[in-house]
Amino acid sequence: MKRFAGWSLAFPATLLIVVFLVLPVLATIWTTFTTPAGPFATYLSFFGSSFRRTVLFRTIQVSLAVTAIALVVGFLTAYVVSRAPGWLKSILIIAAVFPLLTGVVVRSFAWLIILGKNGILNSTLLNLGLISEPITMLYTQGAVIVAMVYLFVPLMILTLVGVLESIPDDLIQASASLGAKPSATFMQVTLPLAVPGLIVGAVLVFTGSFTSYATPQLLGGEQVMMMGTLMYQQAMVTFDWVAASTIAAVMVVITIAIVAAMNAVARRLNPMAT
């Protein structure tokens, strides 16, 4: 009876997700298989284009790089925050959350001001005499990676702080009392127990990076086109909705595959991280 009550409570939300999320995605994917040229013609056309393959591989590369950097930076920051005193912890969490209070477009425009040829960074380097002429930093893959790391690190921090706080201090003290060095305690106790949070954080960062549109468009432009930008162009510029649906389907499949791979790696590192 209790189990039935739980399902009945979850049914309205599940129905909304199915109607407004699952069915539209399935309908979008279905249109790619109903073209007159054949069920797989759109996918053969997509993977047969060297330009589109380059955009796909670039998107995967950038997303994985952003995820890896965010994991390192976010984990170290969350570890410091979780070990801070109560009042300082609150201040640090507010500082981590503060960038999320502004929109993605606003934060991306801020990087335009920082990385431009007449921007803050180039002006500082010129004034210090470290460079003789402005460096081209905008519309490069590095600019996109840096900006997206800035966008998604707060999510990683918020995800990991709760996980690290839930690790009992008794385990850390027991490890130290048994003669383990702080580095050994970190690698053999703290890190394995944080794997579930690392999984969630990595999934959030990767999916957000892989599907991002505004930041690659503003900081990468045509030179560093990514899948989100390409899909927008196909749908809103050339009005080729079948091609846009194909790109969306490819993104969905690759996202699911890489998230599944992340989970598989995490389970090998920690059998409890399922």
Per-residue model confidence (pLDDT) at position 119: 86
Whether residue 3 is contained in a domain is answered as no
Q: What is the pLDDT of residue 216?
A: 92
Angle formed by the axes of helices 86-97 and 50-83, nearest 10°? 160
Interval 66-75 mean pLDDT: 94
**Confidence check: pLDDT of 273 > 60:** no
Structure tokens at 192: 């394995």
How many domains is the chain partitioned into structurally? 1
Compute the average pLDDT of residues 54-79. 94
- Mean pLDDT, rounded, of the chain: 87
In a domain, 85, yes or no: yes
Record the pTM: 0.87
Q: Can you give the residue range of the structural domain that contains 110?
A: 42-269
Answer yes or no: is 6 within a domain.
no
Residue 262 sits in a domain whose CATH number is: 1.10.3720.10
Q: State the pLDDT confidence band at 148, using cuts at 50, 70 and 90.
A: very high
Give mean pLDDT, residues 165-181.
Answer: 81
Residue 151 has pLDDT above 80, yes or no: yes
* 106 assigned to some structural domain: yes
Q: How confident is the model at residue 4 (pLDDT cuts 50, 70, 90)?
A: low
Segment among 102-116, 168-182, 249-263 with least mean pLDDT: 168-182
Structural domain contains residue 30: no
Average pLDDT over residues 73-85: 89
- pLDDT at residue 56 above 60? yes
Residue 189 has pLDDT above 70, yes or no: yes
The mean pLDDT value for 101-111 works out to: 87
**pLDDT value of residue 149:** 94
Q: Is residue 101 part of a domain?
A: yes
Angle between helices 50-83 and 141-165 (to 10 degrees): 40
Per-residue pLDDT tens over the stretch 8-53: 778 888 889 889 888 988 888 898 888 888 888 999 999 999 999 9
Quick check: is 201 in a domain?
yes
- pLDDT at residue 179 greater than cutoff 90: no
Asked whether residue 25 is assigned to any structural domain, the reply reads: no
